[in-house]
Amino acid sequence: MIEQKYGKTLLLSLLTLLMSTISGGIGLVLWFVLKDTFITILLFNSIDKWKVPAADQFSFLILGILWLMFVFIVYHYYNKGKENGQFLPVFLLITGSQSFLLFICESIMLILDRGRGSNTFLLVCEFLIGVMLISCSFFIKAKKKNGEISAKSK
């Protein structure tokens, strides 16, 4: 009995670490997409060409610090969700939010760079994945609230 509890705890800890790595990887992609979106907005607003490299490097630094904070916060919430039995809804909500942020950044770049129409399929996929993941998260939370599902680690 003790071995099963220890094995389940170890499995949940490894799953938490894996999902944190996945969210961190998506966050890393977001880091570069957000930086590109920021530069696209600056260039669209016709900023002086000598200020662009400074803004690029500064945004890279600030977004890198925010990404690192995001990784630590996500790992904390995944551990907290593991203890409360809310791990999957938290993961789905965070990953869906990341997908929506990718959708927003790609939409801004598509609108400002009128020549890039080839990413429309990717844009639609990001939106649909975000809707699907967030909907699943709320569905699972509602089911658990009604007591129909229980996934607490004992």
For residue 59, CA distances in Å to 39, 42, 49 come to 9, 11, 16
60-71 per-position pLDDT tens digit: 999 999 999 999
Q: Which pLDDT value is given to residue 93?
A: 93
Q: Which pLDDT value is given to residue 1?
A: 53
**How far is residue 109's CA from residue 92's CA, in Å, rounded to a whole number?**
26
* Residue-range domain boundaries for the chain: 2-145
Q: Which pLDDT value is given to residue 4?
A: 66
Across 60-85, average pLDDT: 92
CB distance 96 to 129 below 8 Å: yes
**How far is residue 71's CA from residue 92's CA, in Å, rounded to a whole number?**
15
